[in-house]
Amino acid sequence: MLKLLRTLHTRPDLAHRIVTFDGSLYPIAPVVSTPSIQRQQRPMNRSERALSSTIVILIHNMMNVKSLTLHDFSWVGTPCQAIVCNAISSTLSFTSLTALAVEGRDFGERREYSSQLSLILRSQPLLECLELRSGAWDLGRWIFRSGVPRLTRLVARLDEAKVLVPGRPITSLSIKHMSGPPSLDVWEALAASTAKVTALALDAGYGPLEPSLRSIALHLQSIQELVITGVSIREIEWVC
């Protein structure tokens, strides 16, 4: 990955042609055993300065990216954090992403990762597809109701969907890692899309299925396509 990034750094003509990017923008993970604040206070060494310079130039050259998949936020908590984050947020504010996916390790558990993701989302008014494939993002305090106003497809956990669905034209919704039946306020939030949710996928886990199906019938009456994973065929037959 590092070799690829360096090649794109030296070939801005190629970077300008990229419309889909799937990978890490900063391919060095921080040392987990070191507290984040200590890593940020440590001055950058020579290799980190060189890499940061390479990444900043590369990001600025990738102005035509439409679909972006980030595999980690490994720049967060490093001495390079401010430089790389500023480059990403400032450059992406001039792009027009239509699809963004975040996957990899569960880096979304930390508040600082959520704040950095929110900076990206705020700068993408044309975003139509968002997939939060990993982590548990704390977006409630960061996302404004006016953010990502054209979002139509969302893959997320229940807590994230509860924040992102209301006031946006979500028509396709995929809920990950359900541990039990959602509460009434969650279903009401999922029904608050400005468009009708017609496709719903549930990773039901090991919780009971019947309460969720009853809530879907009550709150999401426009569903045309329903996919349920994580439950046995016997349970589905019993509910039906």
CA distance 133 to 168: 20
Looking at the structure, tell me whether residues 53 and 124 fall in a common domain. yes
Q: Which residue has the higher pLDDT, 237 or 209?
A: 209
Looking at the structure, tell me whether residues 136 and 34 fall in a common domain. yes
- Over residues 180-200, mean pLDDT: 90
Give me the amino acid identity at 135: G
Could you tell me the residue range of the domain that residue 229 belongs to? Answer: 154-240
59: confidence class by pLDDT, cuts 50, 70, 90: confident
- Over residues 20-42, mean pLDDT: 58
Strand order in the sheet with 172-175: 20-23, 67-70, 99-102, 129-132, 153-156, 172-175, 199-203, 225-229
Q: Are 63 and 91 in contact (CB under 8 A)?
A: yes
Looking at the structure, tell me whether residues 159 and 183 fall in a common domain. yes
The residue whose two tokens read 């509910």 is 239
Domain limit, last residue, from 117, 151, 185: 151
pLDDT at 29 > cutoff 50: no
Looking at the structure, tell me whether residues 31 and 142 fall in a common domain. yes
Looking at the structure, tell me whether residues 78 and 22 fall in a common domain. yes
Looking at the structure, tell me whether residues 146 and 173 fall in a common domain. no
Predicted confidence at residue 164, as pLDDT, reads 92
**The domain spanning residue 35 has which CATH number?**
3.80.10
Strands (E), 61-198: 67-70, 99-102, 129-132, 153-156, 172-175
Predicted confidence at residue 228, as pLDDT, reads 86
The residue whose two tokens read 């790389």 is 84
Looking at the structure, tell me whether residues 115 and 193 fall in a common domain. no
3 state DSSP class of 235: helix
Predicted confidence at residue 170, as pLDDT, reads 97
Predicted confidence at residue 193, as pLDDT, reads 96
3 state DSSP class of 189: helix
